[in-house]
Amino acid sequence: MARKLPYHLLDVFTDRRFCGNPLAVVEGADELTATEMQAIAREFNLSETVFLQSPQDPVNSARARIFTPQKELPFAGHPTIGAAALLAETRAGDILARSDVVIVLEEEIGALRCEALRGRNGVTYAQTALPAAPRKIGESPAREALAAALSLTPGEIGFGAHVPTIYSAGAPFLFVPLQSREALDRARRGPTFADAVGEAIGAFLYTHDTVDFANAIHARMYAHGLGIDEDPATGSAAAAFAGVAHEFERPDDGEHELFIEQGYAMGRPSRITLRMTVENGALAVVAIGGQVVRVGEGALRL
């Protein structure tokens, strides 16, 4: 007899259906093997699929395992935000209607405390703080090598104090600042892209030339080794970007909020909220958040 597992389809980092980053959330996944989860993720063929299992610590809400079509990840932003919003709606909808709901997800990088709230527009917003500040990893390739890898010229790379760098908040990204949105829209993978990205799971291209003046940066993320080409909203990269912003913008002590727009080139405009608290010149708290809309649900037959 076939097993049936419920799943939900969500759009994350948006308040509109068919925008943002699509996500599949599979519930009741305790008995699934890693091989089965990987096969299901390939079947959905989204940038990530999250599988919810019983928590190892019963005080927490769930254990979350995150798979791209090609590999498992220790942390990813839009699965975390999407799963937290979904659990708040399905397990505590009455409470969510009048106050915030706390969801704790066990992931490989640690237990993530997520807060969900219902916005004035009726859309659920969720955010999570990272267990540790982003860390810088190694050295990025030379500007000339990056230009060749992205089909650009060396002069189009870098602006202000920003230069290419590699940061990780659970998953490493190569951050490439570009002079303009026109250059970012024109960027393409060159034959040396894989060599330039190296061990990072993607190249996060960004510019201050935004579509919406209220946003701080406009970005694209070309994935590497994940089974997808481009991601419409990358929460783990946004979390790691806190390290980039702290290094090159030198924010004063206190709380800071910036918005990252992404996905426009894919026809899936997205908005990620990045919050940073700086104490004594160091990053003390980093949190990401965004809105989540439910698109559909069904059952897997296994």
Distance CA 79, CA 10 (A): 10
Distance CA 157, CA 3 (A): 51
User: Is the separation of the CB atoms in 45 and 59 below 8 Å?
Assistant: no
Burial 252-284 (b: 16+ CB within 10 A, else e): eeeebebbbbbbbebebbbbbbbbbbbeeeebe
Looking at 36, 43, 48, 261, which residue is catalytic? 48
User: Is the separation of the CB atoms in 64 and 105 below 8 Å?
Assistant: yes
Q: Reply yes or no on whether 48 is catalytic.
A: yes
Residues 6+ apart with CB under 8 A from 254: 277, 278
Tokens matching residue 270: 């997205």
Tally of residues, the chain: 302
Of 256, 11, 38, 64, nearest to 170 by C-alpha is: 64
Q: Which residues are catalytic?
A: 48
